[in-house]
Chains A and B, each alone.
Chain A
Amino acid sequence: MKVQELMERVGMTETGRAIAYIKDGLEEMNMLAETHVTTIRFDILADQRFYTLPNDMVKMLDVRCKNHLNSKDEYRSIPRGVGNPTNKDADGI
């Protein structure tokens, strides 16, 4: 469906406003039902604790790590930690 067709169905005439609402709707859709899902991989760096999340991410579904609780190069889901880790990251990166 094109933006124009949706505008006609709704009865709108302002394109900018329609596109803004469409973008909101697409986000809401993925928040509720995960209609568009993707997977990416990136490197683990020694002594680097923090990794920036993708800027197009709406909802995180799973975090997997290579060799987590296995030594067969399998990617397995890792648990979310609760509480503050004792060892702080001194350099903040």
Chain B
Amino acid sequence: MASRKDYTYQIKGNKLSLLERDQTSGTGLNYVYAGVDGDGVMDGTTSGSISLTSPVAAVTDGIELEYAYSPVYTNTGSDTMHVDRFGINGWTVVDGYLTFIRVASPGLATVNWTSSPYTATAVDSYISITDSNKWNGTHKIKSVGTDGLLQTYTEINFPTTIVSGSSDVDIGLISAAYVAGKTYGYLLRTGLDAQFGAGDYIYASGFSNVKDDGMYRVAALDTNTLYIDARYWSKAPVENSVYGTSLSTEQFDEWTDGADSISLNIAGQSNVSANIRTIYRDFCLASTSITALEDEGSNINVSSYLSKALVYYVKAKVAEDQVNIEVKEYMMREFRRMLEKHESSKVAGPRGIMTGSHSIR
């Protein structure tokens, strides 16, 4: 059974600040807070605090956010996986712009956003991101890459590293010295260990043998060397089941036992050219059949009644531009009146008052 939790939130700019009480279940109706004895007095014998802190444990799909959005963009597709919806393994920053990365299954050709089935993702078109921990919403595409990268116009500022190797990158499998008797992957290039850290995720692309292109986790560092112990990708439908079964979830092979999965292994190359860049692991889904209000032929995605209210709003703005405040106020009043009528039109029958969670029963 899942454990009971106690959350609260605050808003900080464009971020949700989530706080949790660090508590453990006690006997009966009582709860024992870390750092507090049974009487609720700080006893200093345990770590932690009675006060709110950052979330103590990870919870999959732990936050549910309900919000109103402006229907400026419309998803006209069917959201069918690998037709107009694709898995995205993570994101990085290219020239200051948010860039999503889709990683192909090991050994298969690198994702090419300019060819089928990804052709809906043209420059200046839109994608809608869902299930991301950071970038949900609609993004306009700035450039489409042949190396799995999909750059958007969303400007962000995050530390990222990119290493462009020119005939000086080695990749392969090794019985790593740092854990005797276990096999890990490695990437070797002068100074590589100074540019990435243990626990980082990297996206390596551009190898002459595409089997080595992929997203990896850095396990440890050695002189000029990154030891890698996990590989991540998104599966396509026609592929062998060895690459996974789900199109809408992240596929991975974590070599926690130090043994690489035979069918997903690294080919190994020496003195080759490749790009190695930081990737922030955040598996999400990108819908590509997104249309926006762009020209006179665009459809406004509101009901017939609300579109009449919208006419009043636009008339009000036009009157405001002409400094005709009287007309503007009249039009805005009509706009609000129609909105209110639209709201009340959906209320019918008797009403019940919900019991609050803290009310006396």
Question: Which residues of A are in contact with B by a Cβ distance under 8 Å?
Answer: 1-4, 6-7, 9-12, 15, 18-19, 21-73, 75-76, 78-81, 85-87, 89
Q: Would you call B49 and A52 a contact (CB within 8 A)?
A: no
Interface flags for B35-68 (1: CB within 8 Å of A; 0: not) read 0000000000000010111111111111111111
User: How many chain B residues have a CB neighbour from A under 8 Å?
Assistant: 82
In the assembled complex, the CB of A84 is this many whole angstroms from the nearest CB of chain B, namely 9
Q: Is the CB of A29 within 8 A of B138?
A: no
B55 (CB) vs chain A CBs: closest residue:
A44
| Closest A residue by C-beta to B283 | A43
Select from chain B the residue with minimum beta-carbon distance to A87.
B53
- A1-B307, A23-B70, A49-B19 given; 15 more Cβ-contact pairs under 8 Å: A9-B311, A23-B72, A25-B317, A35-B68, A38-B66, A44-B57, A56-B72, A56-B138, A63-B66, A67-B3, A71-B1, A80-B9, A80-B11, A81-B9, A87-B52
Are A50 and B131 neighbours in the complex by a CB distance under 8 Å?
no
The answer to whether B4 touches A33 (Cβ under 8 A) is no
- A-B residue pair count with CB separations less than 8 angstroms: 291
A7 to B336 Cα, complex, angstroms? 20
Query: Given A46-B57, A87-B54, does the pair A67, B5 have CB atoms closer than 8 Å?
Result: yes
Complex Cα gap A26–B292 (Å): 13
Q: Residue B310 at the A interface, CB < 8 A?
A: yes
Query: Is there a chain A Cβ closer than 8 Å to B241's Cβ?
Result: no
Q: Would you call B95 an interface residue if the criterion is a C-beta within 8 Å of the partner chain's C-beta atoms?
A: no
Distance in angstroms between the alpha carbons of A34 and B4 in the assembled complex: 32
Give 14 A-B contacts (CB < 8 Å), ordered by A residue.
Answer: A1-B310, A21-B318, A27-B70, A35-B302, A38-B69, A43-B62, A47-B54, A52-B16, A53-B14, A63-B65, A68-B5, A69-B5, A80-B11, A89-B54
